[in-house]
C-alpha cells in the first residue's frame, strides 16, 4: 500500500514499539498522531518528529476513546492508518492462589477489548479512505503461549483471532481497509525491562512493519519469530514444550 500523505494514529505511541513506528512513518507528507496515558512521554516523542501531534488518552476508558475519536475527526477530518499498539504484560505463576483473575482482566481490557472498541469507533473513518490499514501489534505468544505470561498470551491469542476475522470480513465488504498483524518476540522496551530474554530492538520491528506495508504482507514476524513459527507449523506440541523449557 501507499504510505505517503496519510493520517496515522498510534496508540502507546510515546515510547517503545509505538514510537519507533512513528519515527519510521514520519515524513513523506504523513500526519502522525500519538495517543497514550503519559503526556510527558507523548510531548517528548512528538517534539522529535515532523508533523506529529499527540492526544492524551487511556484507551481502556470509554470517555477517553470518545474524545480521541472526536479529536481525530475534528483535527484531521479522517484517518488512514490505525496502529493498535498500547498494551501491558504481567508475569506471575498461573497457579497462584490469588490475583490471577484481576491481572487477567486488566490485560484483557487493554490488550484486546480496547482494540475492539477503538477499531469499531474508527472504522467509519478508515472505510472512507481509499487506501487504509489497521495494524495490530500482537506477539509470538499469540499462537504459542508462554507459561510465565499465560494470561497475556491469552489476550494476544484473542487479538489474533479477532484480526483474522476482521481481515476476512473487510476483504468482502471494504477491501480498501487492510488488516496487518505483527508478531514480535521479546522487544527491548520499558514493558519488558524485568524479563531476562534476548530482545529485539523496537526499530527493527518498525522496519519490518514498514516493509510489510509496502508489500501488503499481512503477517509480520520479526526476528526469531520466523524460525519459531515454522517450527510451530511442523510440530505444535513439541514447539510449545520447547518454548516453555519443558522436555518434549
Strand 132-137 to strand 81-84: parallel, antiparallel, or no bridges (unpaired)?
Answer: parallel
Size (the chain), residues = 248
Q: Rounded to the nearest 10 degrees, how much is the dihedral formed by the CA atoms of 158, 113, 107, 59? A: 140
CA distance 114 to 111: 7
Percent of the chain beyond pLDDT 90?
89
Instruction: Check if the beta carbon of residue 32 is closer than 8 Å to that of residue 104.
Output: no
- Helices (DSSP H) in 26-173: which residue ranges? 39-47, 62-76, 100-108, 114-128, 150-173
Instruction: Check if the beta carbon of residue 49 is closer than 8 Å to that of residue 32.
Output: yes
The confidence score (pLDDT) of residue 190 equals: 67
Residues forming a β-bridge with 9? 33, 82
183 by Cβ neighbours in 10 Å (0-12 / 13-18 / 19+) ranks as: buried
CB atoms within 10 A of CB 53: 14
The confidence score (pLDDT) of residue 202 equals: 92
In the numeric block, which cell numbers belong to residue 127? 472505510
By annotation, the residues acting in catalysis are 152
> How does pLDDT run across 139-164, given as a tens digit for each residue?
999 999 999 999 999 999 999 999 99
> How does pLDDT run across 48-64, given as a tens digit for each residue?
999 999 999 999 999 99
Closest by CA to 185, choosing from 153, 163, 161, is 153
Please report the DSSP string for 144-161 in residue order: S--GGGHHHHHHHHHHHH
> How does pLDDT run across 94-111, given as a tens digit for each residue?
998 788 999 999 999 999
H or E stretch covering 236:
helix 236-243
Task: Name the more confident of 98 and 24.
Answer: 24
Delineate the domains of the chain, giving CATH numbers in brackets: 7-243 (3.40.50.720)
CA distance 87 to 107: 8
Amino acid at each position: 500500500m501507499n504510505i505517503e500523505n496519510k493520517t496515522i494514529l498510534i496508540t502507546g505511541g510515546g515510547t517503545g514499539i509505538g514510537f519507533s513506528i512513528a519515527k519510521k512513518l514520519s515524513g513523506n507528507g504523513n500526519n502522525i498522531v500519538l495517543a497514550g496515558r503519559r503526556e510527558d512521554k507523548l510531548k517528548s516523542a512528538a517534539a522529535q518528529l515532523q508533523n506529529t501531534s499527540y492526544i492524551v488518552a487511556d484507551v481502556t476508558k470509554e470517555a477517553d476513546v470518545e474524545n480521541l475519536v472526536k479529536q481525530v475527526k475534528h483535527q484531521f477530518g479522517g484517518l488512514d492508518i490505525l496502529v493498535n499498539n498500547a498494551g501491558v504484560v504481567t508475569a506471575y505463576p498461573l497457579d497462584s492462589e490469588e490475583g490471577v483473575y484481576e491481572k487477567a482482566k486488566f490485560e484483557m481490557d487493554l490488550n484486546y477489548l480496547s482494540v475492539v472498541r477503538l477499531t469499531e469507533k474508527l472504522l467509519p473513518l478508515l472505510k472512507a479512505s481509499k487506501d487504509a490499514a489497521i495494524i495490530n501489534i500482537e506477539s509470538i505468544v499469540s499462537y504459542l503461549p508462554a507459561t510465565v505470561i499465560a494470561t497475556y498470551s491469552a489476550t494476544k491469542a484473542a487479538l489474533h483471532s479477532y484480526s483474522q476475522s476482521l481481515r476476512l470480513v473487510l476483504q468482502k465488504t471494504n477491501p480498501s481497509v487492510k488488516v496487518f498483524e505483527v508478531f514480535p518476540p521479546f522487544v527491548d522496551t520499558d514493558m519488558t525491562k524485568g524479563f531476562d530474554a534476548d530482545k529485539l530492538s523496537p526499530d527493527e520491528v518498525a522496519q519490518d512493519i514498514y516493509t510489510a506495508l509496502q508489500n501488503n504482507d499481512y503477517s509480520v514476524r520479526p526476528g526469531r519469530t520466523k524460525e519459531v513459527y515454522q517450527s510451530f507449523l511442523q510440530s505444535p506440541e513439541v514447539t510449545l514444550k520447547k518454548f516453555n523449557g519443558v522436555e518434549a
